[in-house]
């Protein structure tokens, strides 16, 4: 698979978001099956794997560490710090976020053990902590880089001023935020800033939490513990209005002999060179489908058709629950 440069870190054009294997999208996958899926992704060219201590908590990092142990020198693993999580019980603390220097160091050491690695390739601040200056956060990660425990620094869901301030202390390799045909706000100011600073971009939810695949309809029901039950944009009444976007992607995909997921991912890959979307899945056939997007090229006419159609489309509903949006820093 083609490689992309994220601020000096080389990764596969498409990565694998591993969160849903252990949390957020209903029941966790069977560990042995998820480990096989992770190894299959690598066999198909994926070198960029995304996890976090918060996914589980802790279970996702442990799963990835076991699965990638035999090939750990052949892959790039990104994980995250920044939430107030009890290191023993995994319970969330009252503060919500916690990026104090001692906490960042504690998380780094614990993540290294679970991931069975000597270095975290890409260490993101998961959410901005209003109680800790970003310069202090960046300085702590800079020290971890100098100590050889971290390779590169990243920010997730950070605002423009935060990115500038952090980058001045420790160069940022990548910023992670939601971006897809379903959510294009990063184009307004975030992507131009990243281009100017030479920072890579890692879109999460590149398939709109599955909506852009066409597999979700107005009648779809999610498992009781599926995060999508809380997403305003995926409420049944919002889905009804948003199906117009799915119809557009389905129509374009049919003409290209591709699937809607492949069109949505190919569109992202052609937005800028320094981008590596991280679609997630627990199903081998969906993995193969998603990775097929790396070989799909949209013509200028295809891209114009998408832009023309999107000009008349306004998504219904907020992209995330209000409690989550309050922590994004955007």
> Mind listing the pLDDT tens digit for each residue in 125-171?
999 999 999 999 999 999 999 999 999 999 999 999 999 999 999 99
Percent of the chain with pLDDT over 90: 95
Task: Say how far apart CA 112 and CA 123 lie, in whole Å.
Answer: 11
Q: Catalytic residue at 55? A: yes
Mean pLDDT lowest among 42-46, 244-248, 288-292: 244-248
Percent of the chain with pLDDT over 70: 98
List, for residues 57-74, the tens digit of each pLDDT value.
999 999 999 999 999 999
Question: What mean pLDDT is reported for the chain?
Answer: 96
Nearest residue to 208 via CA among 160, 254, 252, 243: 243
Residue 329: pLDDT above 50?
A: no
Residues 167-192, mean pLDDT to the nearest whole number: 98
Segments forming the whole domain that contains residue 29: 3-325
Does residue 330 sit within a domain?
A: no
Task: Say how far apart CA 65 and CA 59 lie, in whole Å.
Answer: 10
Residues 252-265, mean pLDDT to the nearest whole number: 97
Does residue 200 sit within a domain?
A: yes
Domain harbouring 105, CATH code? 3.20.20.100
Q: Are 171 and 7 in contact (CB under 8 A)?
A: yes
Q: Are 61 and 111 in contact (CB under 8 A)?
A: yes
β-bridge partners, 175: 155, 201
Does residue 287 sit within a domain?
A: yes
Which of 25, 55, 124, 179 is an active site residue?
Answer: 55
Residues 292-310, mean pLDDT to the nearest whole number: 95
List, for residues 80-98, the tens digit of each pLDDT value.
999 999 999 999 999 999 9
pLDDT of residue 312: 87
Query: Helix, strand, coil proportions of the chain in percent (round to 5)?
Result: 45, 20, 35
Does residue 197 sit within a domain?
A: yes
Specify the DSSP element, H or E, that contains 178.
Answer: strand 172-178
Please provide the distance, in angstroms rounded to a whole number, between the alpha carbons at the two ends of the chain.
32
For residue 325, name the pLDDT band (cuts at 50, 70, 90). Answer: low
List, for residues 236-253, the tens digit of each pLDDT value.
999 999 999 999 999 999
Does residue 184 sit within a domain?
A: yes
pLDDT of residue 327: 62
Q: Are 98 and 82 in contact (CB under 8 A)?
A: yes
pLDDT of residue 330: 40
For residue 321, name the pLDDT band (cuts at 50, 70, 90). Answer: confident
Residue 323: pLDDT above 70?
A: no
Residues 189-217, mean pLDDT to the nearest whole number: 97
For residue 102, name the pLDDT band (cuts at 50, 70, 90). Answer: very high
Residues 171-180, mean pLDDT to the nearest whole number: 98
Domain count, the chain: 1
Does residue 195 sit within a domain?
A: yes
Task: Say how far apart CA 250 and CA 253 lie, in whole Å.
Answer: 5
């Amino acid at each position: 698979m083609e490689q992309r440069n994220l601020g000096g870190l080389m990764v596969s054009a498409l990565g694998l978001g591993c969160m849903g294997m252990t949390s957020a999208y209903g029941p966790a996958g069977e560990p042995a099956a998820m480990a096989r899926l992770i190894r299959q992704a690598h066999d198909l060219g994926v070198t960029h794997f995304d996890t976090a201590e918060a996914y589980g908590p802790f279970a996702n990092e442990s799963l990835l560490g076991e699965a990638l142990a035999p090939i750990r020198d052949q892959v790039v693993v990104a994980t995250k710090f920044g939430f107030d999580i009890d290191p023993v019980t995994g319970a969330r603390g009252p503060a919500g976020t916690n990026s104090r220097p001692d906490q960042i160091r504690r998380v780094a050491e614990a993540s290294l053990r679970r991931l069975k690695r000597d270095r975290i390739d890409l260490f993101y601040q998961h959410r901005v902590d209003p109680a800790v200056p970003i310069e202090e956060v960046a300085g702590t990660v800079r020290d971890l880089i100098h100590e050889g425990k971290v390779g590169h620094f990243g920010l997730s869901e950070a605002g423009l001023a935060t990115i500038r301030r952090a980058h001045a202390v420790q160069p940022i390799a990548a910023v992670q935020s939601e971006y897809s045909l379903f959510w294009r706000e990063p184009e307004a100011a975030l992507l131009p800033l990243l281009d100017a600073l030479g920072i890579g971009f890692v879109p999460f939810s590149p398939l709109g939490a599955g909506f852009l695949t066409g597999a979700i309809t107005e009648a779809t029901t999610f498992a009781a513990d599926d995060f999508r039950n809380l997403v305003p944009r995926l409420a049944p009444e919002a889905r009804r209005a948003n199906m117009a976007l799915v119809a557009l992607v389905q129509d374009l995909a049919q003409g290209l002999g591709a699937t809607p997921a492949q069109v949505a991912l190919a569109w992202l890959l052609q937005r800028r060179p320094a981008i590596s979307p991280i679609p997630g899945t627990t199903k081998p056939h969906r993995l193969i489908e998603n990775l097929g997007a790396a070989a799909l090229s949209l013509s200028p006419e295809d891209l114009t058709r998408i832009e023309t159609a999107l000009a008349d489309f306004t998504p219904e509903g907020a992209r995330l629950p209000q409690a989550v949006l309050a922590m994004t820093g955007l």
